[in-house]
A and B are shown apart, each in its own frame.
Chain A
């Protein structure tokens, strides 16, 4: 079966769902963060597949930018988590419920 665009898109969709499930299911803040990254990568995959099959480089340029942003985001995110950890002493999602009404 010749590998076509929709194959890649299916894989990307599955990866995206996995990432999403990770965010919902896991309770460790860092793992949630990783699943977030996973979702980002799924998006990148789809973009690259599009640029490959639509014969233009827009997709790849987009991915390039996304990776940069992801890097910045991880940096800031982890700094936040560290600060949070230092304040609350835990990285467990359920303990961080100060928003409870």
Chain B
């Protein structure tokens, strides 16, 4: 019986993620970027849920903390800064939309077919504790160099942002 619960939860979270993802991207009701931002946050949260199901507890926390918290806030901040109103209704270019959807569908079909064809082992392999200790241990032993590189990357990012947002940028 205990098996039942996780798969039910999986479907719930997966369903939510997909629905919110769809609403974020192509919200039939309102074209307002804020709504899509909100739905993106919800998608991220439901993904965090999935992470938990996959025993990646630390990542789920990071996901919520960094992604939902920091990144999305930044998004909202920028949306507010640019006080974008409703996207005015330009004529919808039916053809390009259709073609766009078609090609995306083709790629989705390909990926899914590949996944289904691969038939990975459905069985539940032994759990790997995804908690902080293991992750932290691997990070600071095996992947120390990339870890430090990350800090450098963030630094470069900050310098870039400051430069870009200078007032007198021609």
A residues lining the B interface (CB < 8 Å) = 1-11, 13-22, 24-28, 30-31, 33-35, 37-38, 41, 44-45, 48-49, 51-57, 60-61, 63-65, 67-76, 78-83, 85-86, 91-92, 94
Contacts and interface: CB of A to CB of B under 8 A. Distances in A.
A92 B54 CA distance: 39
Given A21-B104, A27-B87, A57-B138, A70 B124 contact: no
Interface size class of B (residues with CB under 8 A): 35 or more
A30 B75 contact: yes
Given A24-B100, A33-B75, 12 more contacts: A11-B18, A18-B21, A38-B21, A56-B128, A57-B135, A64-B139, A71-B66, A72-B153, A72-B154, A72-B156, A82-B164, A86-B169
B14 A76 contact: no
Contacts of A73: 157
Contacts of B58: 60
A61 to B, nearest CB: 5
B95 interface: no
Contact of B18 (A18, A20, A63, A68): A18
Given A22-B24, A71-B154, A55 B67 contact: no
B67 A13 contact: no
Contact of B121 (A5, A72, A82): A5
A55 B126 CA distance: 7
B29 interface: no
Contacts, number: 237
B82 A7 contact: no
A55 B135 CA distance: 13
Interface of B: 3, 6-7, 10-11, 14, 17-18, 21-22, 24-26, 31, 33, 36-37, 40, 43-44, 47, 50-51, 53-56, 58-59, 62-63, 66-67, 70-71, 74-75, 78-79, 81-82, 84, 87, 90, 96-97, 100-101, 103-105, 107-108, 111-112, 115-116, 118-126, 128, 130, 134-135, 138-139, 142-143, 146, 150, 153-154, 156-158, 160-161, 164-165, 169
A36 to B, nearest CB: 11
B92 to A, nearest CB: 9
B71 A37 contact: yes
A10 B115 contact: yes
